[in-house]
Amino acid sequence: MDPVSNSTSPRKRVLSGMRPTGKLHLGNYMGALHNWVRLQDEYECYFFIADLHALTTDYADPSGIAPNTREVALDFLAAGLDPQKCTVFVQSHVKPHYELPLLLGMITPLGWLERVPSYKEMQENLASKDLTNYGFLGYPVLMASDILLYQADFVPVGQDQQAHVELTREIARRFNQFYKKQPAEEEILPEPQVLLTPSPRLPGTDGRKMSKSYGNTILLSDPEAEIRAKLKPMVTDPARIRRKDPGNPDKCPVGDLHKIFSSQETLAKVYEGCTTAGIGCIECKTWVADAIVAHLAPIQERREHFEQKPALVTEILAAGDERARTRAGQTMQEVRAAMGLAQFTPGDVAQ
């Protein structure tokens, strides 16, 4: 089956979302956004802020959701998502995202949801929150709906989300079995594929994976002085205790950052200087700070531009919401009919 033949555009569709966790950090950027920016040139892309997903865990105190949604929108635009090339929208502004989860909930066995590995894991990791709510169990149905509403071909996500996309495929398969169209016709909910995007493991300042919950992040919006201050005490190769001890950049989180952000030339100097104890770690960190600051300069410039034009950001999101609504609305019509719900036209109601 040709997955694009039922589409109005010859390009394949890509969809992905991010929860509004607040200002984004380098790990979010290298792990996702950076790839999204490249994808928008090749695919018909939908990128959204998953604020309903935030509510599944933060329902008792949702005060962060709206401000964080705004920050993530700014970071999306700052990173280079271009509203001329892709659709950027807010999940909760598009009603089909409330509607399809209810309908897919009818056909999703409870056991499938209880078996999702992240379900028990997150309940344990977020033990301070009561996650025995229906909405949290339904997280994967919400996510499957996000994807299936756009009949997406590809979903660029990290490994942590792969199980969710797999479940999305299973839900789509079950839907298509129950609600068969004519043999020659396209299925209403095509099965999406994960697009595993290359993403280097990005260490935080304590050497562990960069993550908001570890408090070891460098934000895309951190000013230069802050970036340098955060990198200064960064963990290094534990074998390099004194200045005269040689080290190994392959065993050093600062070395890992160099491999991602520094030029070949700088990288060569790092290997030479580190392994011969020719440079100190302080100097080495200055170089990596230079590289990161340079990398973030255009991003921060764009962020400032959009920060000064809040009405423009609102306008961009509203336009994205509208495009998303139109596209998702088409799928909903097919889904409602397939699931046996009556369709009334205005003429019918009048009679």
Task: Say whether residue 256 binds ligand SF4 (CB under 6 A).
Answer: no
Task: Say whether residue 17 binds ligand TRP (CB under 6 A).
Answer: yes
- Which one of ligand SF4, ligand TRP, none is in contact with 281 (Cβ closer than 5 to 8 A by kind)? ligand SF4
Stretch touching ligand SF4 by CB under 6 A, among 104-112, 151-159, 279-287, 319-327: 279-287
Task: Say whether residue 141 binds ligand TRP (CB under 6 A).
Answer: no
Mapped onto helix, strand or coil, the DSSP state of residue 250 is helix
* Total residues binding ligand TRP (CB under 6 A): 13
Cβ-Cβ contacts under 8 Å for 200 (sequence gap 6 or more): 30, 256, 259, 260
Both tokens of residue 72? 């993530």
Task: Say whether residue 236 binds ligand SF4 (CB under 6 A).
Answer: yes
- DSSP conformational letter for 69: H
CA distance 33 to 102: 30
Q: Which of 33, 73, 104, 147 binds ligand TRP (CB under 6 A)?
A: 147
Task: Say whether residue 249 binds ligand SF4 (CB under 6 A).
Answer: yes
- DSSP conformational letter for 161: G
Q: Which of 148, 155, 194, 288 binds ligand TRP (CB under 6 A)?
A: 155
Q: Which of 30, 254, 289, 317 binds ligand SF4 (CB under 6 A)?
A: 254
- Which one of ligand TRP, ligand SF4, none is in contact with 52 (Cβ closer than 5 to 8 A by kind)? none
Task: Say whether residue 203 binds ligand SF4 (CB under 6 A).
Answer: no
Task: Say whether residue 247 binds ligand SF4 (CB under 6 A).
Answer: yes
- DSSP conformational letter for 22: S
Task: Say whether residue 303 binds ligand TRP (CB under 6 A).
Answer: no
Which residue, 39 or 293, is less far from ligand TRP as judged by CB?
Answer: 39
- What is the closest distance, in whole angstroms, from the C-beta atom of residue 160 to ligand TRP in the complex? 7
Mapped onto helix, strand or coil, the DSSP state of residue 90 is strand
Task: Say whether residue 104 binds ligand TRP (CB under 6 A).
Answer: no
Burial of 350 (0-12, 13-18, 19+ CB in 10 A): exposed
Full strand arrangement of the beta sheet holding 86-90 = 86-90, 44-49, 13-18, 154-157, 193-196
Helix (H) or strand (E) holding 181: none
CA distance 298 to 315: 22
Residues 259-278 that bind ligand SF4 (CB under 6 A): 270, 274
Q: Between helices 51-58 and 139-149, what is the axis angle to 10°? A: 170
Q: Which of 45, 72, 157, 284 binds ligand TRP (CB under 6 A)?
A: 157
Amino acid of residue 213: S
Both tokens of residue 283? 């100097």
Q: What are the residues binding ligand SF4 (CB under 6 A)? A: 236-237, 240, 247, 249, 252, 254-255, 270, 274, 279, 281, 284-285
Q: What are the residues binding ligand TRP (CB under 6 A)? A: 15-19, 50, 53, 143, 146-147, 155, 157, 161
